[in-house]
Every structure is written in structure tokens, then in C-alpha cells.
Amino acid sequence: MSIKATRTGIVLRPDPTRVLFRPFELGSTTRNLKIIARVGGMTDEEAEQKLDEVIREFGGRHYKLERFLLQRFEQIKPQLLTDEPLTLERKLLLGAYFTMEYSLESAALFNPSMIWHPDQSNVPPGYKRFILSLRATGEGHISSISFRMGYIDEEGKIVLRKPSRYVTSPEIVSNHRFNRAQFERKLYELRLENSIQEKMMAGLGDEFSLPELDAQIKRVSAQYRYNAEYETIAGGLLALAKSNYEIHFEEDQSLDERCIFPTSPNETNGIEDARFVQFTDDNGEVTYYATYTAYNGKVTFPQLLETKDFTHFSISTLNGAEVSNKGMALFPRKIGGRYVMISRQDGENIYLMYSDDLYFWQTKELILKPTYNWEYVQLGNCGSPIETEAGWLVLSHGVGPMRKYAIGAFLLDLNDPGKVIGRTTEPILSPDENEREGYVPNVVYSCGGLLNGRELIIPYAMSDYASSFATVNIDELLAELVGQNKPEVVNSQEVVS
């Protein structure tokens, strides 16, 4: 018997009206100075009229626009030629000339991940609130993390809440402190630990901030001017520090008004495919993690995002010999006292990883190879494993002829996830005629589903453009997976498939 998902008919399309303000960077000091001079040549009346026009036209489109314009003024202030005091209106206007709108999902809204909302208060009996994270893609194909909210009613119907008109990126926490021991271990993994690095780290305490590290690097580098090796090590130290950071949203902002926009050097070209999971530690403490892919235009970097309240987030690099490629997904709890991750380091096979440290991954074991014709090109996960009474259920994607993506599933042993209990021989969801056209044709893809009672909910992307939901009866799916008993040889070890 072949299990097929049932489509809900819900379609979540990108909304180009959801814009946020971003710095408008010209990349030329000369041009910046010319703009500043032109604004300085305006009369007070002209400046006030132009500012009034800006506020009328853009004020209703943004959350606290004037505060951002003042921040932009402070960033360009060092380029002013004099210390002559400026009026508030002049500061705001100058800030506006160096600000732009960015439509974060003008191109696509796809690759969703679904988790239960941490706040289930004031929900009617039988209802349950959820959070949907999505990959929003805008101008320049820059991807960020966008959020939607909704609930599932007592009959299992999915209802999405209409998002707010406003959308804002977070503030970077300026006083973030680094743990020196962990930072130096990451330097070792990046092969940046040497005598030069030791000099640049000398004098820093067990904890330090980015400004403290920067000041120390400048002191040491000043003694070795025009030394390329020192510049390389300094650049590596600062890039690592800037890639491990914290961000914070204001608590009065609705979750769907929050956008995690690329910030670090690793992310300059986008944050891709966040796989959120509700992780419960051995002591019962709950943390929401998301593995995601940072992209700088040349290389992809697996990274980790963590939060307890979706207001304050910490972003960390993942390190170790086996941290590579895309599509890592964390199990929702430890197994045998260790963290566990599903991964795909070689672009085509699925591996299992264990680690005592969440941020360092050194080993992997092969558990699944492409076996059926719809997955001959490659396999991958579609989000974190879901715990069921029969085992760890993992949604997967396979790629077949014409680079067609389809979604399947496999089941792993609860206590020994390296043991494969069963896998779908046919896809449970493939792109139909209404879904195959888009930015990347012939693709259905998910970054994580949810179990609601005896129904599996699969949020999925349609051809890298829009998103939808499908459902599967969990009992029927598990019965098919558990009922399989054909042996399969994987990596010279026999497991049940």
C-alpha cells in the first residue's frame, strides 16, 4: 500500500507589501559627502517640507521609522565635515537619504517549518496555536526568516492569522560576551590557532566582548603593519566573533512583525531553510533551536539559532570535522545523554551524528542511501525527527529525474536511531500540476512538520515560490513503515529497512 498526503488547499503566497527599512549603502564616501552637502544646502523650510513628505509617505508603512532614521544619521555622522549642531529635522532627513525599503518576500515565501507556539494561553478547548517560520526571499535573492502564526481548531482545521502590515529586523545585542574557552576551540577547528592568534587574544579575560577583541587586535596589528599573515588572522578572528551574536526584538511587536535578516559575514547573501525544533533537555527545560544555512555568496555555513521566547535569539556557528553541506536537523531531545543530528555531508546520503557538545560535531555514520528511482539523485531530511510510539519519524525529500523533488518518510529506532525500521518506497507528496510552476519548478519541500493527535501536518513549499499544508494519517503511515521487514545493507552493516 502506498500512503499519500491529503492537500488542504491553503496557499500562502509572498506579499510584496511587507517591507522593512534597511541601510541604503552607496559604497562610495565621495557620493555620501555629495548627498550630505546637498541636504546641507537646503533651507530650513525646504528641509522641513521634504521631511514632512517622507513621514507622510512612509511613516504608516513602518514600525518606529523615525527612530531608525536617527540611527542612520548617527552611522553617517562621522562623515560630516563640521561639528556644527543640526536640528532634529535635519538629522531625520539625512537619515532618510541613507535609508531604503526592502520587500523581504517579494520573490518567494517558501520552505516552511512548523512548531507549537510556546504560549497556549487563552486558546479555546481543543484548539492549539502554532508558529510557522518561512524562508522569505526578496531583491537580490537575499533570504531571511519570516514568521506567521495560526491555530488548529478542534476539528483539525488549519487557520492562518493575517499578518501585521509592519515588519522589522531586530537589534543586535551590543554587549554580547564570548566564552574564551569555547571561542578558542572554534578557532582551533577553523585552523586559526597559532602564535599570531595567541598574541591577539592575550590580555582578554575568560569572557570578552567584540569591542574588546577588536581593540586588542588593533593594538597587536599596529606593531606589524602591512603584514598579510596578521591581516588574515585578524580577519578570521573578527569574522568568527561577528558570526556568533545575539539579537533582540521589542516585546510589544507581534511575532509576525519580526524578521531575522542576514547580519554576520557568513550570511551576507542569505539565511536559508531554518529547521525549527522544540528541544526538551534532560531537566525538562525547553529551548527552541533552528539549524539553518548561512550563505555568503560563495560558501554555505551550517549555523544554529536558539531562543526561549522568540524575542531574544542567540546565533552560533557550528564547528567540527563533520559540519558541512546543508540540511542538518536536530533531534528534539538527547538520546543516551548525547545530542543527535540528522545530516547530509556528501550531498546525496543521509547520516546520523552524535555529540556531547551542541556546537561541535566530529563524527557521522551512514544510515540511508538513495534506493528508489524517485530519490536516485539525492536524499535529505525535511526537518527534525518527530517522536512517535513506533520510533523517530523523519520526513525526507528525494530528487529524481528532471530534478523533481518529492517528500517521503523513514522511521528510526527510538533508542538506537542508527537502526532504520522502515522507509516509504513511494513519495507521500509530489508536485502536482498546480504546484510544479515557480521559481524552481517541480519541487515540494518542507523544513519540519507537526504531529497533531493522530494526524501528521506537513507544511511544504511549492516550487520555491509559495507554501501550503498537507496531512497524513499517522497510524496508516506508521503501519506501512513498521510493517516493512526487508533487510538492506548500508555501510557493510545490516539494518531493517
pLDDT exceeds cutoff 60 at 492 = no
3-state secondary structure of 450: strand
- Determine the average pLDDT of the residues in 353-359: 98
Cβ neighbour number for residue 333 with a 10 Å cutoff: 15
CA 429, CA 427: separation in Å to the nearest integer? 5
Instruction: Indicate the pLDDT class of residue 326, thresholds 50, 70 and 90.
Output: confident
Tens of pLDDT, residue by residue over 267-297, are: 999 999 999 999 999 999 999 999 999 999 8
252: which 3 cell numbers?
A: 510589544
Q: Is the pLDDT of residue 489 over 60?
A: no
Cβ–Cβ under 8 Å, residues 262 and 315: no
CA–CA dist 22, 20 (Å, integer): 6
Cβ partners under 8 Å of residue 186, min gap 6 = 240, 244, 317, 319, 359
| pTM, rounded to two decimals | 0.93
pLDDT band at 1; cut points 50, 70, 90? low
89: phi then psi, degrees, rounded to nearest 5: -60, -40
Tell me the β-bridge partners of 407: 397, 429
The whole-angstrom separation of Cα 352 and Cα 367 is 7
Residue 201's pLDDT is 93
* Residue range 68-83: mean pLDDT, rounded: 95
- Supply the DSSP symbol for 90: H
Helix (H) or strand (E) holding 355: strand 350-355
Partners of 103 in the beta sheet? Answer: 19
Cα 80 to chain centroid distance, Å, stands at 37
202-216, 289-303, 477-491: least confident range: 477-491
| pLDDT reported for residue 246 | 97
**Cell for 214?**
577588536
Phi, psi dihedral angles at 259 (to 5 degrees):
-130, 125
Q: State the Cα angle at 318 between 314 and 323, rounded to 5°.
A: 155
Strands 329-330 and 339-343: antiparallel
pLDDT tens digits for range 163-200: 988 999 999 998 899 999 999 999 999 988 899 999 99
Structurally, what CATH architecture does the domain formed by 6-13+108-170+249-482 represent? 5 Propeller (2.115)
Q: What is the DSSP letter of 326?
A: S
Say what the pLDDT of residue 496 is. Answer: 33
* Torsions phi, psi for 13 (to 5 deg): -100, 155
Name residue 240's amino acid. Answer: L
Stretch 217-232: mean pLDDT, rounded? 84
Confidence of residue 221 (pLDDT cuts 50, 70, 90): confident
Which helix (H) or strand (E) element contains residue 485? none
Longest dimension (CA), the chain: 82
Contact 130, 114 (CB under 8 A): yes
Give the helix/strand (H/E) hosting 468: strand 466-473
Among 404, 374, 272, residue whose Cα is nearest residue 327:
272
Q: What is the pLDDT of residues 456-480, one digit of tens each?
A: 999 999 999 999 999 999 999 999 9
- Alpha carbon distance 238, 214 (integer Å): 7
Percent pLDDT > 70 in the chain is 97
Is residue 5's pLDDT more than 80? yes
Residue 138 pLDDT exceeds 90: yes
Mean pLDDT of all residues in the chain? 94
pLDDT at 490 over 50: no
Q: What pLDDT is stored for residue 299 in this prediction? A: 85
Would you list the DSSP string of 193-260? -SHHHHHHHTT--SEEEHHHHHHHHHHHHGGGTT-HHHHHHHHHHHHHHHTSEEEE--TTS-GGGBEE
- Res. 57: pLDDT tops 60: yes
Residue 185 to residues 28, 357, 360: CA-CA distances in angstroms? 38, 12, 9
C-alpha to C-alpha distance for 264 and 247, rounded to whole angstroms:
11
Give the C-alpha distances (Å, rounded to integers) separating 428 from 347, 406, 458: 22, 8, 11
Q: Any idea where the domains of the chain sit in the sequence?
A: 6-13+108-170+249-482, 22-103, 177-243
What is the CB-side half-sphere exposure of residue 7 using CA atoms within 13 A? 15
Compute the distance between CA of residue 56 and CA of residue 45 in angstroms, rounded to an integer.
16
Other C-beta atoms closer than 10 Å to the C-beta of 469 total 25
Per-residue model confidence as pLDDT tens digits over 404-459 = 999 999 999 999 999 999 999 999 999 999 999 999 999 999 999 999 999 999 99
SS3 333: coil
Tell me if residue 312 falls in helix, strand or coil: strand
